[in-house]
Amino acid sequence: MRIVTRPLADPVPILEHHPDLVWLGPDLQLIGFGTFARLDPAVGPDRFVKAHEAFRGRLSELEAHDEVQTFGSGPLMFASFSFDENSHGSALVVPELVVGCRRGQWFYTSIGDHDPTWLYHPAGTGLGSADRPRYAGSSIPDLEWLEAVDRALELIEDGALEKIVLARDYAVWSKSTFETRRILERLHNRFPECFVFSIDGLVGASPELLVRVRGSGLESVTLAGSARRSTDPAEDARIASELLGSDKDRREHAAAVRSVDEVLSPLADRVFRDPDPVLVDLANVRHLATRFRGTLEPTRSVLDVAGRLHPTAAVGGTPRPAAVEAIRRLEGMDRGRYAAPVGWTSLDGDGEFAIALRCAELSGARARLFAGAGIVSGSLPEAELEETRIKLLAMLQALEVGNG
């Protein structure tokens, strides 16, 4: 069996054929069909490195021929990890066929003899009728979540924590199956600057690039500190200025930046980062962002770096071990793959991983949505609850009927 990567002359309709795996970034789009291998990274702190080893091991006997030689060409593994290193449920899938587009250049990679020309024919199946998402409850009631935030604030006041991110879930059901393609189209239209993904039932749109590795080049973006958007431009500008000047948000952001800096500095030469946070504006919410760039040590893979970064203070807290322990105790739920690395890797360790935010775990006519908020000294429980409500709305709207 051979692995071949060849150019495609014409663009492929990305979502029309209901791909099994989807990764739509601003510069690179990848879709995967079929399953060549499904791998299990097990649990534990080294599961990211083990995942890459398993991928390389599974393909080691195969000869690869890449005529395209670009970022994203060659055999790939799509991966979505569980948030908690002790939890099973990570998904690692090596598709049989990958179609990619990098800055207008189309190509495909096939493991075995897969002719991709069928992708140019009209899809046999369209979208079925859709029902609205109907509320089915949460792992813990909002009231208890509010009290969990209060207990987290006590831990911060006692000095046990500097920052913690607490998440909550929101289950919905529908009278018809939630169609991944419909949700992806909506997310991609509404959040074109985000990484839109679908891997083994986890569907979402993440604004946060955990790490991109291309050769020795490394990039990462940290988002922490958020504010709502307003449809009134003057009010929107006022909120933006308030966010940039907010002591609470700046402290929350600084903790997240420090945690990324501490991980990247030993792994990379010359790590550069924005001296001050910049604003990242999405359709429904605005974040404080800091971009990192560096030159990675040659032996490091994207999964190695992702594993070391996870969980960043933007989704866990600081100090990290105490925050992770408090999350287990206070949240009253398993996050599943929410807030964990999601993305793709090549055999040689290139790849992109985002943090699975603004996402839902789909299972037929049921879905579980997630949203979290960073708690620091001075946080108000009701304001954090409202922040999670606004974040949940973004995914709920993607699941709504008639939000094309």
Partner 1 sequence: MSEPLDPWDRAVLEAMNVEDELVTLDELSRRTGISSTILEALAREGLLIGSPGDTGPLYRIGDTEAISAGMELLGSGLPLAELLELARRMNEAMQPIAQDAVAVFERFVRDSVEATATTDTEAATRLTEAFRTMLPATGRLVDHHFRRLLIASAERRLLERG
Residue 259 lies near partner 1 (rule: CB under 8 A): no
CB 357 within 8 A of CB 204: yes
Under the criterion CB under 8 A, does residue 53 sit at the interface with partner 1? no
Q: Give min distance, CB of 381 to partner 1, in A.
A: 6
Interaction between residue 401 and partner 1 (CB under 8 A): no
Residue 297 binds to partner 1 (criterion: CB under 8 A): no
3-class DSSP state of 104: coil
**Options 38-46, 47-55, 106-114, 142-150: segment touching partner 1 (CB under 8 A):** 142-150
The residue from 85, 162, 179, 208 that is catalytic is 208
Options 381, 395, 396, 398; binder of partner 1; rule CB under 8 A: 381
Q: Which of 13, 86, 382, 401 binds partner 1 (CB under 8 A)?
A: 382
| 174 sits near partner 1 (criterion: CB under 8 A) | no
Q: What is the biggest distance separating any 2 CA atoms in the chain, rounded to whole angstroms? A: 63
Instruction: Identify whether 163 is a catalytic site residue.
Output: yes
Distance CA 337, CA 90 (A): 7
By CB under 8 A, residue 147 contacts partner 1: yes
Per-residue tokens: 296:
């990675």
Kindly give, in sequence order, each residue whose CB lies less than 8 Å from that of residue 44, ignoring residues fewer than 6 positions away.
Answer: 50, 85, 86
* Rounded-to-integer distance, Cα 148 and Cα 143, Å: 9
Among the listed residues 42, 135, 157, 276, the single contact to partner 1 using CB under 8 A: 135
Among 138, 198, 226, 318, binds partner 1 (CB under 8 A): 138
C-beta separation of 110 from 4 below 8 A: yes
> Which residue number, 276 or 382, has a Cβ lying nearer to partner 1?
382
- With CB under 8 A as the contact rule, the residue among 46, 389, 397, 400 that binds partner 1 is 389
Give the shortest CB-92-to-partner 1 separation in angstroms. Answer: 35
Output 164 or 268, the one with its CB closest to partner 1.
Answer: 164
C-alpha to C-alpha distance for 388 and 400, rounded to whole angstroms: 18
Please identify which residue in 43, 62, 123, 146 interacts with partner 1, judged by CB under 8 A: 146
Neighbours of 11 (CB within 10 A): 12
Residue 235 bears catalytic tag: no
66, 5 Cβ separation under 8 angstroms: yes
Give the residue, chosen from 143, 231, 270, 402, that forms a contact with partner 1 under the rule CB under 8 A.
143
**DSSP line for 227-256:** EE--SSHHHHHHHHHHHHH-HHHHHHHHHH
Q: How far apart are CA 101 and CA 277, in angstroms?
A: 31
Site string for partner 1, 85-104 (x = CB under 8 A): --------------------
User: Which residue in 16, 131, 150, 325 binds partner 1 (CB under 8 A)?
Assistant: 150
CA 357 to chain centroid? 5
Q: Is 235 in the site for partner 1 (CB under 8 A)?
A: no
The helix (run of H) or strand (run of E) holding residue 399 is: helix 381-399
The number of residues in the chain equals 404
Catalytic residue annotation? 163, 208
| Binding site residues, partner 1, CB under 8 A | 135, 138, 141-143, 146-147, 150, 380-382, 385-386, 388-389
